[in-house]
Structure 1
Amino acid sequence: MDKQQKLGLLLSSRLFKKRTDVEVVLNRTTLSWREIQRSQKQDLDIGNSLDAAVSQVVPVSEIVSVQKTEEQHSETSSAHSRALEHNQLFLYAFTVSYVLRASKHQWRCTDVVFLCPDLTVCEQWIRAISDQLSILANRPKSLLVYINPFGGKRQGKWIYDQKVAPLFSKACISTDVIVTEQPNHARNHLETKANLDKYDGVVCVGGDGIFSEIVHGLVTRTQDENKVDLNDSEAQLMPSALRIGIIPAGSTDCICFSTVGTNDPVTSALHIIVGDSQPMDVCSVHHNSSFLRFFVSLLGYGFYGDVLTDSESKRWLGPTRYDLAGVKTFLNHNYYEGTISFLPAEDNMSNPRDKLQCRSGCCVCQQRSSSKARDMMEEKKKSVKDRREGWTVLSGKFIAINTACISCACPRSPKGLSPSAHLADGTMDLILVRECSRIDFLRHLLRHTNKDDQFDHQFVEVHRVKKFHFQPCRTEVSSLEDLSEIPRRAPSDQHAQPHRGVTATPPTAAGPATARSCPIMQFKSVSSAS
């Protein structure tokens, strides 16, 4: 019993599961059960039971719910006859729903039913497990849900109603659901109308576009409430108190894929239920001392911006529109001439080609987070002259100028545009594709679909930066596109800069653009190899 006391033993009973007697043990961190062999049943020693190997162990943090089994379970009839052999009739049961980790980072919700000898034991188990779940403060109890019914294959509402809502209900999470009717519906509602005090988080059902709307709405509202001037590119952004969850139902869902490891609605819903969260950088873009927008995934100038612009008129084609627009843009083979200035990341903890992928517990992001306050103080002490030192300036003709805050992985590009980009380190990966032949550019694009190094070309360079600025030679060809938003023509001369923890923004194409790192929290975890 000493070993169990050290583990925080709360309850232990001999119960019945399917056709088998089982010993069920609950401690402060796990629920476990194991089959009781026939030879052990006469003189079962509960005190030494944990010394034997258990057949199943579930972390309490991954239990979705526990409830009394009101109706006779499908296994009860066989269990009943089996129980009669032991001169015991098990009439009461409770069901534990928990996370089952499947392949390829996917999670599933599965149930186990335990039969009890009497009502008192049944209620005792339900109460004990419920008490442990109530202690988990990171779990949401009330959520505001926005559904984009038009994104991807237009299945957002069906996905939520059929796959997500039943799980939220099972976990006793209350929801207010809003089906968006037009672009920026969610953003405008969050900025001006939503009463956010009663919610633990905001969930978007759709693609990267509606996630961008949620980020803009929440972050903008938070800055307004804290009197932060968004037009000041040097201002430190304040993180939102609410976390954001993504249920993938879009065309590419790269933000979800880059953080969870799969575009599976059930997996994302379960991450939300158990309270998993991951900070992300948000980047801001400025032009002539005016704030333009935030971005959290990829900012594209040139090729990718042109693809998005051309695809917007073909939204009725769904995800196929990107293929058609991509072929057209590739054949056009435009290039853009200009000057890029960027401020390299100062430390040597990581670089864009170190082949290290950001995962849960990433040491780079954790160390950056711990040094955030110190970095902010040092930045404030710098004079205007000091802030201009250390910048690198490049000029030339470019087919594409991209800035990645995350890996931007998706099913079509499993490693992403920048496989070693970090989620919350306050930096961005600036990817420059200089003028080259169509064949060479095609080779570069194809490497995004396999394991080859897409940066291993003489005409491609990548830099990990804190800020960047792009000045095109001709303003009429400049187009700066957040690849998660509806495209817009951007003015020339922009800069971007990252804000760690809330947002991250690097200097970008066209006018001065700055990216700042200010943390937002998402209901999701970055998958490891498990």
Structure 2
Amino acid sequence: METDMDSVRVESSLWIGNKRYRAFLSGWYFSWTEIDKGNREKKTISVPVSEVIGVKEGRVEIQPQKKVEDTDLDFTLFHVNRNSRGNAQGLTWSLGRTQFCCPSRAVRDQWITQHRTALKTHSPSRPHRLLVFINPFGGKKRGKQIFHSLVSPLFELAGISSHVVVTERANQARDYILKKDLTGFDGVICVGGDGMFSELLHGVIGRTQQEAGVSENDLTAMLQPCDLHIGVIPAGSTDCVCFTTVGINDPVTSALHIIIGDSQPLDVCSVHDQSTVVRYSVSLVGYGFYGDVLEESERHRWMGPLRYDYAGCMVYMCNRSYSGLVQYLPSDSQISSPRDNTRCLSGCRVCSESKERLFPHFDSSTSLYSSNVSQYSTELEGEWVTVEGTFKCISLTCVSSSCPRSPKGLSPSAHLADGTADLILVRDTNPLSFLTYLHRHTNKQDQFDLPFVEVHRVKAVRFSLPPGEEEDFEEEEEKIQSSAERVLEDPGKLCSNNIAGHSQQHLTGQKEKATSTSRLKRPGFVCGPCCTKPRSVSVWNCDGEILPQTEISCRIHGQLVRLFARGIEDSTRA
């Protein structure tokens, strides 16, 4: 049976400069082959119709600035170009431009018409209207410049309209998505870092569950998959989510993935405190070292991105470890393992085969993201495993969490959309051994091949303090709270109360504020032998946000959201 796509067929001679080509549009590709003076075929170039950005009459340039020369015989084709760059895991995409000259205007018009027909037929899921949030303060504060100089011209070329919101406060994007009318938008885009992405993530998930009547607070409930796609234009400090799902943190590459309507499902971890959902996470839920680093870095925000290096050194020299009781529900080791040395690349078999397992009652004749799924899940059934001990750090990640500084990430073999996360337990060890573990994140050595490190692929995790530690924790909190209250009454006693790392400016707020945030105002870190008395508990780092809760439960929701991405492309095939 002949399809609409098969009927799109046109062939003729075209010229690029002084060279003649035989051009052919049929099926899924547009190809042109150079013909020499002896009428012999030479090199052929093929572009998938799905990667054509647009076709324009005349001679058109977009970069470095827009330039249009209207001619009767010419048309300009814009498409995706690929190349590898530096330490990127994936391929860099750039805007390719090829200018063709036709033998007549009628032939030119035929080519343009057929190209546009092919685009509509082959790429019906391309976005037409986007809601864009720009964080003007993230990273190097170049969000607005990146969007208007690099991204907006590409959207205009592809015929995409965008409504732009420049955020002025934290959680503004989340609140906008939760409360405003989003009718007509095909996706939401963040121009910023991982913090801005987290806002969009919480907004999209929250709105979807509200409209579906699903309780987010119920740990056993199966959340409704989100239909509204999320796009990420990297403009932050680390851009972990973008690097993990695309393989590079390049704004143009991400913009082109958005334009052609790429769709990548992504697992999400929900973090609960008893009967309340606290946050959603994609890249890291970390306790111990990573929690302490974030907490210390918050005291030095004036340092910019350098605060993370500084905080890391300070926390490492304190050489702290924490007692904990970890319970986890393991996934099926026959499907995949965090030690199988595989990589989740574009078209990953493990992720593509997970849909049927994650949604067993799904009707394939309808869209998963536009129909209600079963209200309750069987994913939490199974035998839980308990691990008790003293840990340097505990990490849970749904993805590899790779970034430019750590190209392999926390868990190199983690998958984007298989409904699992990797639980990494680093037990107490000497400082040199722990430094070896940290250093292996930056090279090609296996960071799990150490006697004090274990990793498990899991579907759910619970963390609690061991018996006896809870009383010590409550006593410590009372001391911290009492010290904070005394300083509020008499700021001059700040030094004598030994609350290191806090300035008087941080402690002169209202007394009620000190009470509500007492768990976040712990004693600061001091180098080496001058460290304050070891604390009994750490804090949780949830995608760059400190959680006030210590005892939490986590559950992985497979393929809950979709990004404008396709996973990391294999650079060896470039």
1:387 to partner: Cα distance? 5.7
Separation of aligned partners in 2, 1:347 and 1:453: 19
- Quick one: which amino acid aligns to residue 147 of structure 2? Y
Partner of 1:324: 310
Deviations along 1:115-160, whole A, 9 cap, x unmatched? 1232222111111101111221121111111111111111111111
1:9/1:25 contact within 8 Å kept: no
Q: Distance in 1 between matches of 2:255 and 2:375?
A: 39
Equivalence map 1:91-110=2 (5 Å): 91-104=72-85, 105-110=91-96
1:501 corresponds, among 537, 543, 559, to 559
Deviation, 1:388, is 6.9
What amino acid is aligned across from residue 250 of structure 1 in structure 2? G
- 1:521 is aligned to 562
Where do 1:10-159 residues align within 5 Å? Answer: 10-40=9-39, 52=41, 54-69=43-58, 91-104=72-85, 105-135=91-121, 136-159=123-146
Partner SS, residue 198 of structure 1 = coil
AA aligned to 1:180 is T
Equivalent in 456, 468, 472 of residue 463 of structure 1 = 456
Q: CA deviation at 1:112?
A: 0.5
Q: Secondary structure at the match of 1:111?
A: strand
Preserved contact between residue 244 and residue 403 of structure 2 (Cα < 8 Å)? yes
Aligned residues: 478
Kept in 2, the 8 Å contact 1:272–1:523? The answer is yes
**SS of aligned partner of 1:374:** coil
| CA gap 1:458/1:33 in 2 versus in 1, 3 angstroms | same
Residues 539, 547 of structure 2: 8 Å contact kept = yes
1:481 to 537, 541, 549: 541
Q: Which amino acid aligns with 1:95?
A: T
Change (3 A) 1:379 1:225: closer
Structure 2: runs of 5+ lacking an equivalent: 63-70, 86-90, 363-372, 478-536
1:169 maps to which residue?
156
Matched, 1:252 2:251: no
For each residue in 1:5-61, what CA deviation from the matched residue of structure 2 results, as whole angstroms up to 9, or x when unmatched?
9976611111221111221111131111122221229xxxxxxxxxx5652111111
2:8·2:117 contact (CA, 8 Å) conserved in 1?
no
Task: Pick which of 347-356 and 468-477 moved more.
Answer: 468-477
* Equivalent AA in structure 2 for residue 20 of structure 1: K
Percent identity over the alignment is 45
Name stretches of at least 5 consecutive residues in structure 1 with no aligned partner.
Answer: 42-51, 74-89, 503-519
How do 1:113-512 residues align onto structure 2 when only pairs under 5 Å count? 113-135=99-121, 136-193=123-180, 195-374=181-360, 390-472=383-465, 473-474=469-470, 475=473, 476=477, 477-483=537-543, 485-489=544-548, 491-502=549-560
Determine the C-alpha separation between the residues in 1 that align with 2:432 and 2:459.
Answer: 32
Which residue of 1 is the match for residue 68 of structure 2? none
> Partner of 1:527: helix, strand, or coil?
coil
Cα separation, partners in 2 of 1:526 and 1:389, compared to 1, 3 Å: closer
3-state SS of paired residue (1:487): strand
TM-score by length of 2: 0.80
CA 1:54–1:25 in 2, change beyond 3 Å: closer, same or farther?
Answer: farther
CA shift, 1:529, in A, is 1.6
Decide whether aligned partners of structure 1 residues 379 and 238 sit closer, same or farther in structure 2, where only a CA change above 3 A counts. closer
Kept after mapping to 2: 8 A contact 1:32/1:54? no
Kindly report the root-mean-square deviation, in angstroms, between the aligned alpha carbons of the 2 structures. 2.4
Instruction: For 1:220 and 1:260, locate their aligned partners in 2 and report how far apart those are by CA, in whole Å.
Output: 25
Deviation at 1:486, TM superposition (A): 3.2
Distance 1:388 1:525, change over 3 A: closer
Structure 2: how far apart are the matches of 1:10 and 1:262?
Answer: 36
Contact kept? 1:63, 1:99, Cα under 8 Å: yes
Q: TM-score, normalised by structure 1?
A: 0.86
Looking at structure 2, the residues matched to 223 and 285 of structure 1 have their Cα atoms a distance apart, in angstroms, of 16
**Structure 1 residue 310: Cα displacement:** 1.6
- Distance, in Å, in 2 between the alignment partners of 1:302 and 1:209 is 21
Q: Deviation of residue 428 (structure 1)?
A: 0.8
Q: How many Å separate the matches in 2 of 1:387 and 1:528? A: 33
- Could you tell me which amino acid in structure 1 is paired with residue 428 of structure 2? E
